[in-house]
Structure 1
Amino acid sequence: MISSARLDSSRPDQDTSRMLDAVQRETLRYFWDYGHPVSGLARERITIGQAPDDRVAIGASGMGVMAIVTGVERGWLRREEAVERLLTMARFLESAPSYHGVFPHWMNGRTGATIPFSRKDDGGDLVETALLLQAFLCARQYFQRYDPHESELRRLIDRLWTETEWDWHTRGGLKMLYWHWSPNHGWSMDYEIRGWNECLVAYVLAAAAPRYGIHEGVYHGGWAQGRDFLNGRTYHGIELPLGPDCGGPLFFSYYSFLGLDPHGLKDRYADYWLQNVHHVLINREHCIRNPHGFKGYGPYCWGLTSDDTDEGYRNLHPMLDLGFIAPHAALASIPYCPEASLQALRHYFGPLREHIWGECGFVSSFSESKGWYSRDYVGLDQGATVAMIENYRSGLFWKLFMSCPEIRSGLVKLGFESPHLT
């Protein structure tokens, strides 16, 4: 068990490094102390005061892999124990049901059985699988010692990666990736993966796949033809290259970029560093202007993204603002606007701390207008927080993911430029 990190929030001169240590280390506990005892995979969510069930989430488990690697890098976990946990996860996944190598959104962490996400979503989820493999490839690059356990981990990751049938999700060769396939319902969900959203990494992985890859026409003819792909309009004096009005939820700017390094990443459509910085600035500026007059909003309290409300999980963004702030949204945006994110972090550790900080870091969301504070930690929130803070501090996952020869080949195939490709 990781010991709790403690901060004296009464000290106005609290050292930034210690503050970031506390957030990463405490949030890591979500995955390390509360990972499923059989599979090691990450819970979908944990509710304070309630015993968790056996439901685990594939995308959150990927982010948990990154959190565990962070724990080793920061000296909070022993390398050997981290490798053993990741081996437990990889061995379990290798034996669990998959659908053309693609994992479901949810599974039972004890048996591996698929847990339907919705009535027809009872098969492969390509985007959740992409989030998992993005992280596993980082782990493969990190654990490179000539040690039997690390060697086995690399072999298992390579098998999971190689056996994922990305091309199956083109439905027989269409210029499009589709999100879901079910052995019971086939393609009936009919959900096209079109941009701009959180799914860029799925196309990069699909193009990079060593066995079941896609050709570049799927990216240009599918992803780049989304209704909300090209934008070019200005919001609050800030131009937005891609995406829906005002940018959409903030997780668009970090889920794919946990591994993909946006620095100097460009293609014919956008400069992705500029895209993400401007998206974050627009989201923050909306909260500063606060057109609906929500209590607490301002330069130190911002971050609209999909998360919990008092009436359930909602897809929140400036065009649908219900007064709920997700702490992780500002924290996971720290590479793009570091001073603004650190201002938010100091604020969260100040007057809000007693309401939103606990043994697994910050809770999912809160609304000062309603006097409502979530009692839940959400796996995707916690994982994005740890990984993006680490990218801000050291660039660790950007270096690892972009060091994969397959990823570099996939980016070249799709026409990307990056300093990592020179």
Structure 2
Amino acid sequence: MLVKCTNALQTMLSLSTSNLPAHAADLDDDALLDIVQRQTAGYFWEGAHPVSGLARDRQKTTGDPANDLVAIGGSGFGIMAVIVAVDRGWVDRGAALFRLHGMLDLLERSPRYHGMLPHFINGRTGETIPFRRKDDGADLVETTFLFQGLICAREYFAENAPEEHRLQDRVNALLSKAEWGWFTRGNRELMWHWSPKHGLAMNSPIEGWNECLLSFVLAAGSPHHAIDPEIYHQGFAAGPGFRNGREYYGISLPLGMNFGGPLFFAHYSFCGLDPRGLIDRHTDYWDQNVRHTQINHRHCVLNPHSHHGYGPDCWGLTASHGPCGYVAHAPDRDLGVVAPSAALSSFPYAPAEAMHALRGFLTKPRNRMWGRFGFVDAFCESRNWYSRTYLAINQGPIVVMMENHRTALLWRLFMGAPEVRRGLARLGFTSPHLNRDLARAGPQ
């Protein structure tokens, strides 16, 4: 019944139009943002797995993949994209609720490892699909991004209606099973992976500046299985590659690896965490993300490796497909591959530069740059290569971060959640969101 109903809803509520208007370059900024957001959100509506509604890990520019691989983290970003689609009137609220309950049907049946989900599951059966040989169990970071989306959905669908109450209860039940404290090794580190066959053999503590800040916020804020805040300060924030302080292209970078690393560091955790005024003993996270974005932009403008196409209207290095496979592209790992997600997910930090890039992407070969789910994952003009795929973890942040730039919708939802506020407070963060009454967050 789910497949039949879902297909009917997709027919009635199609987001994608497959082609940009011929006059797209002449549209004003808001109209252009509408088109890009709506088309990209189609990845998570028409392009979702036909049984569960979860996000396929990747999609092709033509035709669906012949597999059932869905991404747990990508599904979290996809849930947030669906919320945007509802709020903008592109998807019916009831249809979105139906879709979310379908997702939860499978997630509740899927194997969980001390409450955590793996990187990939089968979108039809829910079974774990190993990411690599020893990575066949819990993935805390991918689960974090799923929870980010589910928390936003719980906060958004909060009307006094039975199906919305039921959604809230189901999300809370899933969150309550996450045994964050079990994944701490010696109460010193939070571990990224755990396998029922191999235990902690991957030996992957979450440390150093990367995309994982949100895992510590949710782990510290859990009402049932919270971690000691010192695991954040003495583990993650004391790890190699956390502090920087050096200058790149004349811009001082507070945290992270040389040149800042791939731009998804400034996106994934901050789809929900509002970095504006978010400060702890380590840094100001708005400042961190703006500077990281500026370094990435300036590198592409200066183009020290003379890659074809780079400039103010063509910039953005992050993890993506490329001629040599999937690579975490960055200024110090620059293979000439630009990912539209890097610039378009940076609208909050560099709106003028991001809009310049968006309009620049429209000047590229339209039939190779744009398709049924928006801009393709990446391109390399030096090698005349354009991806024929989209990735969930790149398409989702485009929709979400554009919306945060425009209305701060996802930031408001997520920062109002009790476990988020409690986690931030326990870790010693300050934020304008925490200046409000913390009663919802419960005891500290």
Structure 1 CA distance for aligned equivalents of residues 287 and 190 of structure 2: 26
Counterpart CA distance in 1 for 2:91 and 2:63 is 26
Q: Which position in structure 2 is the counterpart of 1:55?
A: 69
Residues of 2 paired with 1:311 and 1:36: CA distance? 27
* Letter of the structure 2 residue corresponding to residue 275 of structure 1: Q
Q: Find the aligned partners of 2:234 and 2:42 in 1 and give their Cα distance.
A: 42
2:107 is matched with 93
Give runs of aligned pairs for residues 176-215 of structure 1, distance below 5 A.
176-215=189-228
Aligned to 1:118: 132
After TM superposition, list the pairs within 5 Å mapping 1:357-368 onto structure 2.
357-368=370-381
Asked if the contact 2:15/2:45 (under 8 Å) is kept, the reply is no
CA distance in 2, matches of 1:157, 1:356: 37
Map 1:249-260; keep pairs closer than 5 Å: 249-260=262-273
The 2-side partners of 1:316 and 1:104 are apart by 25
Q: 1:14 pairs with 27, 36, 39, which one?
A: 27
Alignment deviations for residues 319-363 of structure 1 (CA, whole Å, 9 cap, x no partner): 010000001110000100000000000111123433211000111
- Within the candidate set 390, 399, 405, 1:392 is matched to 405
Q: Matches of 1:192 and 1:352 in 2, distance apart?
A: 43
Separation of aligned partners in 1, 2:368 and 2:198: 43
Cα contact 1:104–1:125 (8 A) shared by 2: yes
* Structure 1 residues 71-127: Cα deviation after superposition (integer angstroms, max 9, x where no partner): 100000000000110111112101111100100000001111100000000000000
Unaligned runs of 5+ in 1: none
TM-score by length of 1: 0.98
SS of the aligned residue for 1:377 comes to strand
* Alignment: residue pair count: 421
- Matching of residues 231-310 of structure 1 within 5 Å: 231-310=244-323
Q: Distance in 1 between matches of 2:231 and 2:25?
A: 52
Q: Cα 1:139–1:11, aligned 2, differ >3 Å: closer, same or farther?
A: closer
Post-superposition shift, 1:48?
Answer: 2.8
Select between 145-154 and 113-122 the one with higher mean Cα deviation: 145-154
Distance 1:11 1:314, change over 3 A: closer
> How far has the Cα of 1:215 moved from its partner?
1.1
For 2:91, what is the secondary structure of its paired residue? Answer: coil
Identity of aligned residues (%): 52
Which consecutive residues of structure 2, in runs of 5 or more, have no partner in the other structure?
1-9, 436-444
Q: Deviations over 1:215-255 (max 9, x none)?
A: 11110111101211000111111110000010000000010
Check if 1:140 corresponds to 2:154.
yes
CA contact (8 A) 1:97 1:114 kept: yes
Query: How far does residue 8 in structure 1 lie from its aligned partner after superposition?
Result: 3.3
Deviation, 1:3, is: 4.3
Q: Paired residue for 1:4?
A: 16
What is the rounded CA distance, in whole Å, between the counterparts of 1:155 and 1:12 in structure 2? 45
**Partners in 1 of 2:233 and 2:34 — Cα distance?**
41
Q: Distance in 1 between the 2:201 and 2:107 partners?
A: 26
CA shift in 2, pair 1:208/1:3, >3 Å: closer
1:317 matched residue in structure 2: 330
Contact 2:15 2:90 in 1 (8 A): no
Q: Measured at CA, do residues 368 and 210 of structure 1 come closer, stay the same or move farther in structure 2, by a change above 3 Å?
A: same
Q: Which residue of 2 aligns with 1:153?
A: 167
Q: Report the Cα distance in structure 2 between the residues aligned to 1:393 and 1:304, rounded to whole angstroms.
A: 23
Aligned position for 1:34: 47
Give the secondary structure class of the aligned counterpart of 2:244. Answer: strand
CA RMSD of aligned residues (A): 1.1
The offset of 1:9, in angstroms, is 5.0
After superposition, the Cα gap between the structure-2 partners of 1:118 and 1:12, relative to the gap in structure 1 and judged at 3 Å, is closer
Which residue in the other structure is 1:66 paired with? 80
How far 1:273 moved relative to its partner? 0.3
